[in-house]
Structure formats: structure tokens, C-alpha cells
Structure 1
């Protein structure tokens, strides 16, 4: 006989968002630019990037949908005393973060948890998602708490380490000590350093944990996908690092592990698989990338455990 569930909890699963089709790219880009439409040149550049990914297929939306569904299943399977209902809230596309909060209230949810599909906290990324969700929840009288980061969760580190070891094996005939492992994440404006933002250090902590678990001896961190905003962004950029690999690292093989991203989307499928790979090949480097987490069971368990832990701590408090 199935156990009766004593409480119902809404889970707002937040992420960056993506257009669902090429004709939505302009509206999406305009939202990112806070209502300022892109120039025709800017729009063409972004549209061309999407078209370069499997002829314009938009994988991020599908991966996010799958992650939200898989997390709901994992939570209800792992914690039979609670009924979990997952809602999606996107930063730059519909359903927006505010839409997700509003839908929870419409569905009669009175207790909620928010979690972002990004393991590392920055006030400019995860912090901005939380701010928007909290403001809407306050407006509607919904009680909601938030997972801020989970960058050292053992199951996350295990999932990423498995991917590093698996990808290292693709360099046939090459010792893993000869491969430079480059961990990457989305760059942010340099001013976060003045704010003592934890983002850069959390990324290094994740990198070190993977290195310790895998026994990798050559590694470094590089940034990617910086915005073109006229202000300095965190560097060095991966494309610049690749230029120095042979001279500074005496390496011929590079493995990129994009620890700041949890799905296959534009920053992975274009910025790494097309742009960085092309640069590496031009430089005579062998290039591989670790598989994305997507709906990996260990990643779903990570999310499920951090959500449940927040509820448990709230009860204790």
C-alpha cells in the first residue's frame, strides 16, 4: 500500500531559458538586452549560431523540460511522505520565473522551494533568479525558500568525475598525464570581484574536487561565452588559453569540462563544440569535451537531495 503524503511542496526549477524556434530569437535577444532590440548584425550573428547547431534545433528547451520532469519523478520516488510538483521558471523566455511562481499559487501551493539549474552562486546569475522569484512570491503571499548553490555535492562531483575519466579514455595511446584538462564556466563582468562574489572561488573548488577524485595532473580554469557589453569580463577566455597550450603547458591534447553548464545548449554546442574545437584544430591540438549532465541520475539525485535538505532544515528551524 502506498504511503500517504503528508504535505505538498512546489519546486520552482529556474534556468536561463532559450527561444523555441528561430523566429523567437529576436524577442529572446531583446529580453536579454532589457528591451533594447539587437541590431540586424547582432541578430544575424546569434541566429547563425543557432542554425549551426543541428540546423537550428533548440536543444536547451527540451533538455530543461526533461530535467524538470526527471527531478519531479526523482523527488516523489525518493521522499514518499511529500508530494512534489515541479514548475519551470526561465530568466529570458516563457514561462518566466514570475509565471512559475504565479502558477504555483494558482494550483494552491502554499510551500515552495526554488533551485537553479546552475551549481555555482553569483549575485548576477543565481542571485538574480532568486530575487525575481522572491519578489513575486512576496507579492502573492507564497512561502518560498531557495537553494543557493550545490557546487561540492558529492554526487555532482562524482557525475562530473565520471565524465572526465570517460573523456580522457578517448585520447587513445595518450597518457592522461599528457592531457590538459580545462574546466570552464560562463564568464561574468569583472566587477563581481570587487563585490567579493563567491562565483570564481566556487568554480575553482569544484575543479579541485574533480581533480582530486580523478587524479588529473594537468589542469587549469578558463572562462567562456563572455558578453559583448563594453565592460571587462572575467578572463582568460578559453580561445585565448588554447593559443598558449603548446608553449606554456607543453600539451598536444585538451579536454574541456564545462562545469558551469548542466545541459547541452548554445554555449556548449556552439561555443565549445564548434568555435573552440575549430580553434584547437587550427592550432594542431587534439580536442575533446566531457558529456553534459542533462538528466544524468546522479545530477537528478543531487538536485533532489539539496531540495529535500532545505525542507528538512526549515522544519528543524
Structure 2
């Protein structure tokens, strides 16, 4: 830490990234594949998915809205104190670009916040490590927010979203809390599955749902690699629920995602809802967090708390 309370403070808002135009899809996919261009078949499949949701994902605009909401909330709390920038994993501006922007603004201490509530070393841990490494190059201290899966405002948002979405379903329905699957090899000793269960349980308690009869965890959007990924996949769960004949509908709460993007708008709204229709189940999805003001304000409070703790003598 710099200990300089007169210097501006930085917030590095980190996100996965997304192509901004259809022309960016191939370069984006190549970056995800660590420099290996996708085969024509893989590229055509991804492009078709973007076409199905309107040509491109709204994630870039939504991520910027989240960054701006955090900046506004911090300005309201500590006017003129904060520089808030975006740094992404797979699209410009990259995490290193964001750190360089903070350094150019004279920032010595930055808070790293990933727009993902649940910690995994494979995801949030990698973001924070890249931020720390880039900060070292600029003699900048990083103060990390590694998880916010039990932030009360976030839990309240999810509970309200679940309650509202349930109203459209038959009385006999099941709530599935989903998140992005990860390879089994990286989940050995990783807190990600436990944190997802903690969030789901806290939301279910707020809503008044009983475990298994009324809610369960499921996984989605597994990568297309030969290694095993964590399941059960939400599509399999929907088929299994229909086969039992014990429910008339399914509600998916995509608790692991904080904005509308391909994994929500295609994998759930098109693919999962299509499976539900095929097997005769009513289907609904909870609204996404996006830049919901109450949660953004609560995250800003957490940013200030972490920064003050880091600057404390």
C-alpha cells in the first residue's frame, strides 16, 4: 500500500469480455483459445449463436453500464477520490490496459473487483493475479475483493427476481440455480461449488423454498473439451424432471452470471427453454442483475471498505 491518502484511488472493474461487433468474433474466439484460431465449424457455430440473439451480445454495453454505475456510486460517497476503469480477460480494454490507465492517472492503490460473485481460482483468481502482476509493474498496490456471493443486496435481488418469476409458472414447479460449469480438474479443493450452494441456500431461505423438492443446483455452458466438466447440466436436469412427472414447470435462476449475455440469452432463453417445451414443462428465467442500482451501491460500499482497510496504518 502507498499510504498516501491524498492520491486518487482506483477501482479496476474486471469482466470476461465479449466481441463488440460481428467482425470481432473470430479474434475474440482465438484469444479464448490462447491464440489458436477456431476451426471453420466452431466459428460458424459461435456466429450462429450470436445471430440467434440478435447478431451480437449486449454484454459490452451492460458491462460499461455496471462500471459507470459503480463510478457514480463512488463519486457520491467520496467526490473526486476515485478513478474507475474497466479491464477484461478476453477483449480490450484488457486487465493490463486498465491498470496502465490507473497508473497514468496517478493511482497508487487500486481495488480489484470482478463482476462475478463466486470465487474460483480458475476464474476470479486468474483475474486478480493478472491485476496484481500488472500493478507490480507500476508500483501499485492491489486490494482484492475476491467474492461477494453473500452480499445482502445481491441475495435480496436474487430473491426478488425468483419470487417475481415464479408467478408466471404453475404451482408445481422447481427452481434451478445455475452457474458456469468448470473442468473437474480445477475444482479439486476450489471453493466455487460451495459458494454457489451458499448463495442458492440463502436465496431459497429468503423465498421459502425447500431443498430438492423445490430447488436444486445445476450447471451450464460447459466448454467443448474432452475432459469432464462439473454437472449435472441444466439441460439434462430439465429432461430428468419431465421424466419423473413430478413437476409442471422449471425456473432457472442464473446466479453465477451478472449480466445478460450469450450464456443467458442463448444457452437458457433459447436452448433450455426449447428443451423444456420439447418435454412439456413450463419454463421461466429470472431477470439478470445488470446494473441494478441497489447492488451496485452495495458493491461501492464494499469497495470503500476494502480500500480504507488497505490504507489503514
TM-score, normalised with respect to structure 1:
0.93
- CA distance in 1 between partners of 2:236 and 2:140 (Å): 46
Counterpart in the other structure of 2:118: 120
- CA distance in 2 between partners of 1:82 and 1:124 (Å): 35
Give the Å deviation of 1:316: 3.8
Matched residue pairs, number?
306
Q: How does 1:1-317 map to 2 (within 5 A)?
A: 8-54=8-54, 56-77=55-76, 79-80=77-78, 83-171=81-169, 174-175=170-171, 178-194=172-188, 196-217=189-210, 218-248=214-244, 250-316=246-312
TM-score, normalised with respect to structure 2:
0.95
Q: Specify the SS of the correspondent of 2:8.
A: strand
- CA distance in 1 between partners of 2:240 and 2:110 (Å): 47
Q: CA RMSD in A?
A: 1.4
- CA distance in 1 between partners of 2:57 and 2:52 (Å): 11
1:238-264 CA-partner distances (Å, limit 9, x unpaired):
011011113447111100000000000
**C-alpha contact (below 8 Å) 1:151/1:203 kept by paired residues:** yes
- Structure 1 unaligned segments of length 5 or more: list them: none
Distance 1:98 1:311, change over 3 A: same
- CA distance in 2 between partners of 1:274 and 1:290 (Å): 14
After TM superposition, which residue ranges in structure 1, 4 or more long, deviate above 3 angstroms?
A: none
- Structure 2 unaligned segments of length 5 or more: list them: none
- CA distance in 1 between partners of 2:149 and 2:264 (Å): 19
